[in-house]
Structure 1
Amino acid sequence: MAARFLLHEVSDLCLAKPALRSLSVTNTVADALSALKRLDESYLSVWSCHHSSLKAESSPQEGGKAEDCRCIGRVCMLDIICFLCKPENLSSPATALQSPISVLIPNNLELVRHLEPNASFLEAIDHMLEGVQNLVIRIENRISARKKLSSLDSTLHNNNLGYCWVTQEDVIRNLLNSIGLFSPIAGNPINSLGVIDTNNLLAVYYDDPASSALDLIAESLVDQSSVAIVDTEGKLIGEISPFTLNSCDEGVSAAIATLSAGDLMAYIDCGGPPDELVQLVKERLEEQNLGAAVELLGEESSGLTSWSSFSSSTSSDEEFNSMKSGKHVGYSARLVRRAEAIVCYPWSSLVAVIVQAIAHRVSYVWVVEEDGTLTGVVTFAGILKVFREHLNSLS
């Protein structure tokens, strides 16, 4: 049953998905920043051709041969934040923003890959286990080839074709919808499945400079995980989440460069940064001769976009409690409001962990002991590996 299910076509995951909005490799970092804010997108695709949805009056085929169109990467706000955090860019952010968009795309990683619509779920999982995060799938053209694109339209490529992409979350959601086909592993505790990653924990101490976590933040974006903040005893206090940072604006780069990890948690917390932290960032920028970076904070000095769309119910937390030693143990815990960490326990079931991650729109869940000590992390990639190994055992 499970094996037949995964032979379904990956195009099934594209139903009702909008076509990608795209940038051209010829665009700048400033273009990407403007588009991310204007279009309210978490990620934008970057294409090898010269037309993009930024060019409102261009025809879909202008600027290059249609057959040359390939999606070569993706960009998000966190890519721009990490780029601006570099000292040379903080000293002259206006100049840095004029850099080509290619500086945001890693040369040694293939995070985006084209896949045919008739490919199976199994093929999609195999690509993701190789490190691919976004599969670019051709979809039915939803825009007339004769209609000129507006700045809010999706871009057409390769003879007026539209594309969407499939993510790890899409595949995991689909697996959850048919989780009964994967008995008994779905109900097994995660510490019996080898899904807890204890070797690649990204963590900093509460009082460490946030700048010391910059490389870890960039790594967590690639790994689809997060950076834990722990105390001196190894207990989880909170996190610096790529999801949270990706919902901020470019002003957060100044906070990362000047604050401690703990203060950064407060800076990116719900409702916007406290006035005293904003003032502290400005003072430290001046002390470090980075006064030009003050402009990144904007007139209102707000590092966050609205959080209203990201609020989530805790009802699912209550529905997935674990039993241990005859008592109920809450399956998840919220540790620090928006810099919170979503956690589970070694004895939590795989399906409970999947539900918790999807409910909170994250691709990982921290694993802690009863006293809050951080022991590992479960990621979507690790979960896909477990399902893939289960399928191998059936063949």
Structure 2
Amino acid sequence: MRGFVGVLLAELMVPGTAMASELAGQLPELLYAGEAVAQRDGFAADCDAGSTDACFGTGIIDLIIAAEGLSQALYRHGATTPDMAAASMFLGMPDGMGEGMGNPNPEPLDYDGLRAILDDFVSGLDQAQQAFVLAGEAGDYVITIDPLRVRLDLNGDGVVDEGETLAALLADVMELPEGRTKGDKTSSVDTTIGFDRADAFWFAGYTQVVATPVDLLLAHDFSEIFAAAGHRIFPQAGLPMQEFSRGGTLVMDPETDTLLADMIAVVHTASFPVVEPERLKGVLSRMQAVTALSRQNWEAILLETDDNRELVPSPSQTSLVPDLEVTEEVVAAWMDTLDRVDEILSGELLLPHWRFSQGFDLKAYFETAEETDLVMLLTGQGALPFLRDGPIADAESFGAGNAVFGDRWPNFAIWFN
């Protein structure tokens, strides 16, 4: 699994109540050396004393702890990427990563163990969010960090080597900026970002973006699908079908046929009883927190008067993202999009279902569902309890966003969260 970006400090000058943290000034080099986690208690103490830059550092460290915890747990149990491009992208691992690249001596894993791993990950994200929200409350700080130099201990061996930088990890799944060559000289690319108070809300929002699908899964009993296909991700963890990833030939060849059989098993077991109703309701709250934090993010962005390598710029600042400029029209369209999403989450605006003239009440689903059967929801019967009359979302509902973002809306959505 892949880690998250890191960040922290230059100087904090806060009118009134906040103070600057000396320790926070060391954060960039601690991140580059992979030593920030060991200083977590110091950052937390400075945060408690009112230093919002230290709160930002605490949030980043908690984010790293959560990411490392998940990555180390997956490595401990021998996680590999299924030999499918889509699965590779979803898991953030190189396509076709075989067992030889994983843990040569994996530990057994059962369903309860996997739930515990995921629950710890969500708890870590929530802890990071709390610190980020505090960091966003005040502070005129700018923290210049090169995220690609941040190091993470992904396998739990206590060593952060060259292959465990964010740059090395991202190089597996995306094209990174390269320096320009002129003659025999190559100029390096500046990949630093000046993180500030507004970005604390951005990070807080992204903790909830990441936690939401994990918490949605944990609200359900997914033991059957794990037993049926978990060996595709944990091939040596002692799961029921571990020894049968290669069988006889039915249609094509032993490997392909068993893979197809496992995919059919996934569809067959994609019915998940709700075992934690309060957690399912909490998923709705998480999504509402994402839109609320995005609004706080933009409120802080639009108050800025500097232009210091902004993660997300205002219309008066310089964009670091090629071919994506932030204009007043873009900001207005994003706010309109948030309004529509909030209406969907509150049940005021219903989702369309291809089979019915009535709309699907997403709020009612999160608050009352007893089972999530993906096939039955898609085909219609599973959607019946959540259908009602009312306005239904369509392209016109998101007309402002469609007009401004066009087919680039996923780029803006990922960037803005």
**Where is the helix percentage greater, Structure 1 or Structure 2?**
2
- Going by fraction, where is strand more abundant, 1 or 2? 1
Q: What's the TM-score, normalizing by structure 1?
A: 0.24
TM-score, structure 2 normalization:
0.23
Q: Flag the structure with more relative contact order, 1 or 2, with Cα contacts below 8 A and sequence separation at least 6.
A: 1
* Larger Cα-atom Rg: 2
